[in-house]
Structure 1
Amino acid sequence: MISKGAAARCAAGVLGGLMLVGVGTAAFAAYPDPEGSSGVDVKVDIAAVENGALSLTVENTETTLTETGSTAQYRQFTGALPDVTVTDTRDQVPAGVFWYVTGQAGDFVGETGQPAIGAEHLGWTPAMVTTGNGEVAAGDQVGTTLDTAPNNVGLTGEELLALSLDSQEATAASGQWTANADLVLKTPVDVAPGSYSSLLTLSLFEDQY
């Protein structure tokens, strides 16, 4: 039976032997023998995507609003929706179809149980990042319930971020478009302090005339 000390010495001896080979004569440079080598062919079958796809991606999954422009009537918090990109890789697009992206927010829930802030307090102003010839357009501004401007309903329902009037025309023009939006949250001046969060859901649809 080999003691722990003997085992340690054996390990040290092997290490010393390896080090000794490393400082040996140039004759060792020919090793390992190429004839003793072998390789592995790495193969993969990637199926073709039939007719491509229409898809949506969002640059980030989180954004933060910061207070700016508050008044004696309300507190205001602003930020930006991360870039939202629609990509169409389809070879064939049916005639008479169009796609659009909508956004809908949930209530802002307090982290420590403070009363929720309804989604009607969150509005946005969409804008196109991708320049084109009008084949894709940004949606209209949506105000908050504390605004007096038209469409001051907040993001309680599915509001339009971007719209392609003709999927065939849009695909031929570019194949990829990006939009974003300025976000604004307006609350009463006596809103409970604390951290809040809301889920803003972005959805891509294609419909037919």
Structure 2
Amino acid sequence: MRCAAGIVGGLMLAGVGTLAFAADPGDSSGVDVKVDIAAVENGALSLTVANTQTTLTETGSTAEYRQFTGTLPTVTVTDTRTDVPAGAFWYVVGQAGDFVGTAGQPNIPASQLGWTPADVLDGSGEVGSGSEVVPASDTPTQPGNNTGLVSGEDLLFLSLDSAEAQAAQGSWSTTAALKLKTPANVAAGSYSSLLTLSLFEDTY
């Protein structure tokens, strides 16, 4: 009964509205929409990611292993602060979780996901990109870098020469090539992993 009464009431209101417009179709009114936006006193240091997901596709597989590659969505750090302490520096790190199957397949360890960060898009040299990290089953391309993304690995960082250096305002972006390696007999199915990107600030 309560639902029926609501529907009838709605129809009645619609009928009244129709009659009101028919009585004087020339009437119109406007509403001034106003807002006061306070200035941000010291700006902000922020991290944005262009998309919340990416998909890896199979490429370069062999009889010994299967390989899947893709691209990390563009990651941007923006610093609009007008007062940054000398010697303060920021950095972005990434850490992946295991790939979990949607149908109960065994997990694929996060250690089997690696990345190769691209050069920073602004090219000023003040901000650098992290080093390559390869899957654990790969041969290291640098000493000890075949760990996969199991712990915080640098993606993007502000490079200062000394504790007296002052960080500049600006916006800096990068991305990374992603690579997942699995055994050749990996269980078929859909998998997903959460790759967490975190922005930190520290001082010399």
**TM-score normalised by structure 2 residue count:** 0.81
Displacement, 1:18?
4.6
Measure the CA separation in 2 of the matches of 1:43 and 1:97: 38
Measure the CA separation in 2 of the matches of 1:79 and 1:99: 26
Q: Which residue of 2 aligns with 1:65?
A: 56
Displacement, 1:50?
1.7
Measure the CA separation in 1 of the matches of 2:138 and 2:32: 65
Displacement, 1:129?
4.5
Letter of the 1:51 counterpart = N
Counterpart secondary structure, 1:161: strand
Q: Which residue of 2 aligns with 1:186?
A: 181
Displacement, 1:158?
0.3
Letter of the 1:145 counterpart = A
Give the total of aligned pairs.
180
1:193–1:38: structure 2 CA closer, same or farther, 3 Å change rule? closer
Counterpart secondary structure, 1:168: coil
How far does the alpha carbon of each residue in 1:166-205 deviate from its partner, in whole angstroms, 9 at most, with x for none? 383442xxx1000100000000111111000000000001
Structure (1 or 2) with the larger CA radius of gyration: 1
Letter of the 1:65 counterpart = L
Letter of the 1:185 counterpart = L
Q: In the alignment, does 2:85 pair up with 1:94?
A: yes
How far does the alpha carbon of each residue in 1:97-149 deviate from its partner, in whole angstroms, 9 at most, with x for none? 11110000000001000000000000000013513221011100001011111
Gaps of 5+ in 1: 1-10, 23-30
Cα contact 2:84–2:167 (8 A) shared by 1: no
Displacement, 1:47?
1.5
Root mean square deviation, CA, Å: 2.3
- Which of 93, 96, 108 lines up with 1:117 in the alignment? 108
Q: In the alignment, does 2:123 pair up with 1:132?
A: yes
Measure the CA separation in 1 of the matches of 2:186 and 2:31: 65
Q: In the alignment, does 2:166 pair up with 1:168?
A: yes
Q: In the alignment, does 2:54 pair up with 1:56?
A: no
Runs of 4+ in 1 over 4 A off after TM superposition: none
Cα contact 2:86–2:167 (8 A) shared by 1: no
Displacement, 1:42?
2.6
Gaps of 5+ in 2: 1-14
How far does the alpha carbon of each residue in 1:143-167 deviate from its partner, in whole angstroms, 9 at most, with x for none? 1011111300000000000111138
Identify the structure with the greater helix proportion: 1
Measure the CA separation in 2 of the matches of 1:18 and 1:126: 64
Q: Which residue of 2 aligns with 1:4?
A: none
Cα contact 1:164–1:170 (8 A) shared by 2: no
Q: In the alignment, does 2:151 pair up with 1:157?
A: yes
Cα contact 1:140–1:160 (8 A) shared by 2: yes
Cα contact 2:129–2:156 (8 A) shared by 1: yes
